[in-house]
Chain A
Amino acid sequence: MSSLHGLPEARARFVRGWFTENPTYVQLLGMCPTLAVTSTLPAAVTMAVATGVVLLCSNIITSLISRQLQPHLRILVYTLTIATFVTIVDRLLAAFAPAMSRQLGPYVPLIIVNCIIISRAEACASRQNLGTAVADALGQSGGFLLGLSSLGIVRELLGSGSLWGLPVLPENYPGMLIFVLPAGAFLTLGSLSGALNAIRMREKGTQ
C-alpha cells in the first residue's frame, strides 16, 4: 500500500534532484566543495560520489528512525550519523585512493557540514518512507554530480587543456591559469549559473 502510494513521489523526487531542484545551480547548497575541488574533473567526480554515499546512508537512517524521535534528539542523531559515515568514506579513500585523498585534503571531512545533507534530512528523509528517501538522495546526489562535473569540465579544459588528465586541446594551448586558481572557480560558477538563468528566462519568454 505504502509502496504503491510512494512510487510516483519517489520518481518525481529523483528527477527533481537532477534538474529543477539541482543543489548546485538552483538551491546553491554545498558551495564549499563545489568551488574548492573542481579544478580537475577526477577530483570533482570523487567529491560528488563521496558526498552522494554519505547522503544516501544518512537519508536511509534518518527515514528509518527519525519519526520515532523528538526534535531535540534528531539533530544529535543526524550529526552522529553523518560524522560517522564521513569518517568511513574518508578512511576508505585514504586506504584505496591515497593520492586522491591527499588532493581532496580537508574537503572530505567538510562533507559533515555540507548543507545538502542536513537539509535533505530535515526537508525530506525525516518525513518520507524509505523508498522516497533513497530516491531523493539519489536525485540530489545526481544533481550535485552534474553541478560539480560541469565545473570540473570547464575548469580543467580551459585551465590545463585536458579532460580527466588526458590532453584534448592542441599541444600549444597555453592553458588559462586563472581557471585553475580560486578566482577561476568563482568565475566559472558565476558564468555557468548566469548562462542557465539566461536560458531559463528565454524559455519562459517563448512560452
Chain B
Amino acid sequence: MLDLLLIGLSAALINNFVLSYFMGICPFLGVSRRLDSAFGMGAAVTFVMTISGGLTFLLQQYALIPLGLQILQYVAFIFVIAGTVQFVELYVQRFFEPLYRAFGVYLPMITTNCAVLGVCLLVWSKSYNTLAQALTFSFFGGVGFTLAIVIMAGLRESIDFADVPAPFRGTPIALFVAAILSMAFAGFAGMGSQ
C-alpha cells in the first residue's frame, strides 16, 4: 500500500510528466488557454492513460515477453493506444452523452499525445511488475498532467492581461512560466525517500 502511494506521489508530483519528463508539452503550450478546456483535456488524457497503461502492461507481460516478441513492443503499444482512443470515443459517445460533449473534442488528439505512449514505456522501463503498480503509475501520471495543464491555463489567463515585451509574447513567456512551475515542482523531490 505504502509502495503504491509512493508510486502515485512520484508520478504526479516528484517526476511530473509535463514539468520533469516533458511529455504532453504540445497540449500544455497549445491548448491550455482556458481553465475548463484544460480540465477537460486533462480528464480525457488521464482516462486514456490509465486504460492504455494497464492494457500495454498486460500485453507486454503475458504476450510479448513469453513469446519473445519484444521487437514488436513499440508497434503493438501504438496500436493499443490508437485502439483505446477509438473505443473510448465510441463508448463515451454512446453512453455518456454529456461527458462526450465536455471532452469528446480532445479525444482524437490524444493518440499523438506523448504522455500516453510515454506512460506505457515508463511502466516498462521502471520495471513495475504488478498490474496494480502499473495502473497506479498511469493514473497518477495523468493526474500530474492534469495538474500541470490546469495550473498553466490559470496562469495564462492572467498573463494575457500582462504587459509582456513584444518579442516574448505568446510561446516564450509561456515557456518562462513553465520554467518557474518546473522549479516549484522540483521542491517535491526527496518526498519519497526516508
Tell me the A residues contacting B by CB distance below 8 Å. Answer: 28-29, 31-32, 35-36, 79-80, 83-84, 86-87, 90-91, 105-106, 109-110, 112-113, 115, 118, 178, 181-187, 189-191, 193-195, 197-198, 201
Chain A residues, CB < 8 A from B180: 183
User: What residues of B have a CB within 8 angstroms of the CB of A197 in the complex?
Assistant: 166-168, 172
With a CB–CB cut-off of 8 A, which chain A residues contact B75?
80, 83-84, 87
Interface SS of chain A: helix
Q: Are A185 and B74 in contact (CB under 8 A)?
A: no
Which residue of B23, B122, B179 is within 8 Å of A32 (Cβ)? B23
CB distance from A177 to the nearest CB of B (A): 11
Q: State A186–B22 Cα separation when bound (angstroms).
A: 10
Interface of B, secondary structure class, is helix
Most buried by A among B113, B172, B174, B180: B172
* Nearest opposing residue in chain A for B178, CB measure: A186
Which of these, A91, A105, A113, A186, contacts B112 with CB under 8 Å?
A113
Known: A87-B75, A109-B73, A113-B114. 15 other contacts (CB 8 A): A28-B171, A35-B25, A83-B74, A83-B79, A109-B117, A110-B118, A110-B121, A181-B182, A181-B186, A182-B19, A182-B186, A186-B179, A190-B175, A197-B172, A201-B167
Interface size on B, residues (CB 8 A): 43
User: Chain B residues with Cβ under 8 A from A35's Cβ?
Assistant: 22, 25
Q: Could you list some 10 contacts between A and B, CB below 8 A?
A: A28-B29, A31-B29, A35-B25, A83-B74, A109-B117, A112-B74, A182-B182, A190-B173, A194-B172, A197-B166
Give chain A nearest CB distance to B44 CB in angstroms: 16
B166 to chain A, nearest CB (A): 7
* Closest CB pairs A-B (n = 3): A190-B175, A197-B167, A186-B179
CB distance B25 to A31 under 8 Å? yes
A35 to chain B, nearest CB (A): 4
- The contact string, 1 if C-beta is below 8 Å from chain A, for chain B 5-46, is 000000000000001111111100100000000000000000
Q: Does B71 contact A (CB under 8 A)?
A: yes
What mask results when residues 56 to 67 of chain B are scored 1 for a CB within 8 Å of chain A, else 0? 000000000000
Q: Is B193 an interface residue (CB 8 A)?
A: no
A143 to B100, CA, bound (A): 39
Nearest chain A CB to B152 CB, angstrom units: 11
Residue of A nearest to B170 (CB): A197
- Which chain A positions have C-beta within 8 A of B23? 32, 110
- Whether B176 and A115, one on each chain, are in contact in the complex, defined by CB atoms closer than 8 angstroms, is no
Instruction: Flag if B117 contacts A113 (CB, 8 Å).
Output: yes
Which among B22, B26, B167 is the interface contact of A36 at CB below 8 angstroms? B22
